[in-house]
Structures are given as structure tokens and as C-alpha cells.
Amino acid sequence: MTTNIAFIGFGGVGQALAEIIRDRKNSLLSSYGLDAKVVAVADVMKGSIYNPEGLDIDELLKAVREKGTVEAYEGAAQASTGLSSIETITNSNADVIVEVTFTDVKTGEPAITHCRTAFEHGKSVVTTNKGPVALAYRELAALAEQNDAFFGFEGTVMSGTPALRMPVETLAGNQITEIRGILNGTTNYILTEMEKGQSYDESLEKAQKLGYAEADPTSDVEGYDARYKAAILSNYIMNTPISHTEVECEGISGITLEQVQAALTEGKRWKLMARIRNENGQVKASVKPECIESSDPLSGVTGATNAIVYECDLSGTILLTGAGAGLKETGFSLLIDLIHYQKEKKLAKI
């Protein structure tokens, strides 16, 4: 059975997922039974288009890339244009909403409203937006369950590296006592560049050019991005809701080139470390710079790469490392959520 998809937001990540769906159409169907059809796109900057029979992905991408609007789609005459995001969620025949808008992480909006509206209408959501999961996970997960909908958000922590599903599914049965990790690529890149002698400002500028940094890089360098990820890890993996404001937070803007270089001569490295500890049922979380020994498994994680360590009572220490950002990688995180949606659909849970 076809899975109809609506994109709310159609920036680089959404377009990357559309390309993957186009390129892997046959293998997704034969391996997972996933027959994904894009029926709608709504983007505040790029307009909206809806055809219940489906949209051609090549034509959609062409319209956006050449004309900057999905409303320039070749078959627009047979489709509806001008629908708002909320109208697209409520009025379209989409089964799954791919929520990839630019979200204000302080309020989680408009993504929280998009997710809530979708679930209230019995539609599933896959998203890479940190806001809804960091700020409203409990409410949204309960709403999804009440409405037999699926809520996938693998890409909110470490993009396509399975930092969320892997511990919950593959490490199930363990008690995870501590999670620590390098969860922000921009700051790890800056610290690595500073080890090579580059200044903080030059390194930040390079990280922005390479597309690692958030639109406002303050969120990266002051640790706020990692703080939201720490809240998501606590909410989802430690099963303990904490607000991002409860995560002690200090960024890397106070770390000098001299400190970075001095650490290196002692065989140490500065890292922006996120820690989420379960202390007798109480979760304590922090994000702050730590000067770690070369024997630490996180010491060799350089550049924009992310890594995370799970301290498990049965399986021991588990280290997972990989990309924490990137269009293809983040597009993949949405794909793996869609594949899991399909698995649940097969089990008739949706």
C-alpha cells in the first residue's frame, strides 16, 4: 500500500530525502514494502503544492532549484497551490508529515503545532526538528499513541547516526547509567582547527561556510544546541523528562588558542562534552568544555564528527561515532524513520 507523504518545509534536508526516495524507489519497495509517494509540499518561502495523485520528484526539485518556488511545478495546473502548512497537514491525503521547517528552538514553534495538528488528525510525523522533542516530547508522544500515529525523530541527535534508536532497541535490557558525547559538530570542528593553530574566529567562519553551524551560531558555540540534544537523550533514552533549562550549560567561546595548544602538548584535548547521568533515578545533565586524556575513546573524534558513549550495566561501554550533520545524512535519518513507520504499519499498529 502506498504511503502518502507531505513535506512541511522543503529546504536542503527535505530535498535530500526526496532525492533518496526517488533514487531508491525500487529497493525501498522490494526490501521494506515502502512505496512512498510525495503528495504535497508547503514551505513558507517556497510556496505550496498539493496533488492527491502524487507529485513528480524531479519536477518538484527542478521548480525549487530553478525558480525558487514549488508553485512553478510543471503540473501545477492539475494541482492545488497556496495551501498553508496547517491546511496541508489537515486537508491533504498525506499519511506521514515530514516536518523539516526552520524552528525556533526556544519555543519549538511552529514545529510543535505542526506535530500536534498532525497527530490530532491521525497522521504520523517524522522530523529532524529538535524543538518538539526537546520541549514537548511527553505530550507529543502521548498524542501520537492516542491517535495510533507514528512519531519518528532519529535525526534530532547526530543526524543519520542512530544515537536514539540504537540504544533503545539494540541495547534494550541494559540499564544505561551514563551517556556522554560530542554532540555538536561545529564546536568540535572549531576546537580541532584551533589545535592546528587557527584562531577561534577563523575556525567559526570556516564552520559556517561548510554548513555545520546553525543559522545563529551562538546556539552552537554557547552549547545550546548540545543542551537540547542532552534533553532529548534524557527524555527518550533515560525515560526522564528534563527541561533544557535544567541542563547546566557552558560553551567554548571562553576557550583560548593557548589553552588548546597547551592541552595538546600534554597529550590532552578540549572537547565540548555533553553528560547525562542517572544518579539513583535522578537525571543530571550538563554541557561544558572538558580537557580529556588521549586514552579517552572520545579523544580521537575530530573535526565535525560526533560521538556518543553509553555506559551499560550488561553490555559495558558502547561507543557510537559518525556524522552529526549533513544533508544526505540527515535525509537518511528521515528515511530510517519512514522505514520504521512502514514496519509498524505492517504490524497494523498504525
Q: CA–CA separation, 298 vs 181, rounded Å?
A: 8
Which CB sits closer to ligand HSE, 328 or 343? Answer: 328
The rounded distance, in Å, linking the Cα atoms of 274 and 287 is 4
Q: Does 127 bind ligand HSE (CB under 6 A)?
A: no
Look at the block and give the residue holding cell 486537508. Answer: 91
Note whether 48 binds ligand HSE by CB under 6 A: no
Q: Does 154 bind ligand HSE (CB under 6 A)?
A: no
CA 286 to CA 250: how far, in whole Å? 8
Binding flag, residue 212, ligand HSE (CB under 6 A): yes
Residue 108 is a binding residue for ligand HSE (CB under 6 A): no
Interaction between residue 153 and ligand HSE (CB under 6 A) = no
Interface stretch with ligand HSE, choices 45-53, 115-123, 192-200, 208-216 (CB under 6 A): 208-216
* Catalytic annotation present for 229: yes
Q: Which of 211-219, 308-316, 331-339, 340-348 is the region at the interface with ligand HSE (rule: CB under 6 A)?
A: 211-219
Residues that bind ligand HSE (rule: CB under 6 A) add up to a total of 10
Residue 214 binding ligand HSE, by CB under 6 A? yes
Under the binding rule (CB under 6 A), the answer on residue 163 touching ligand HSE is no
Catalytic residue among 130, 229, 271, 345: 229
**From 92-100, 213-221, 279-287, 314-322, span contacting ligand HSE (CB under 6 A):** 213-221
Which residue among 99, 225, 329, 337 contacts ligand HSE (CB under 6 A)? 225
Tell me: does residue 185 bind ligand HSE (CB under 6 A). yes
CB of 272 to ligand HSE, least distance (A): 10
Which of 40, 325, 338, 350 is close enough to bind ligand HSE by CB under 6 A?
325
Task: Kindly report the number of other CB atoms within 10 A of residue 205's CB atom.
Answer: 15
Q: According to CB under 6 A, which one of 124, 186, 286, 333 is a site residue for ligand HSE?
A: 186
Q: Which residues bind ligand HSE (CB under 6 A)?
A: 184-186, 212-214, 220, 225, 324-325
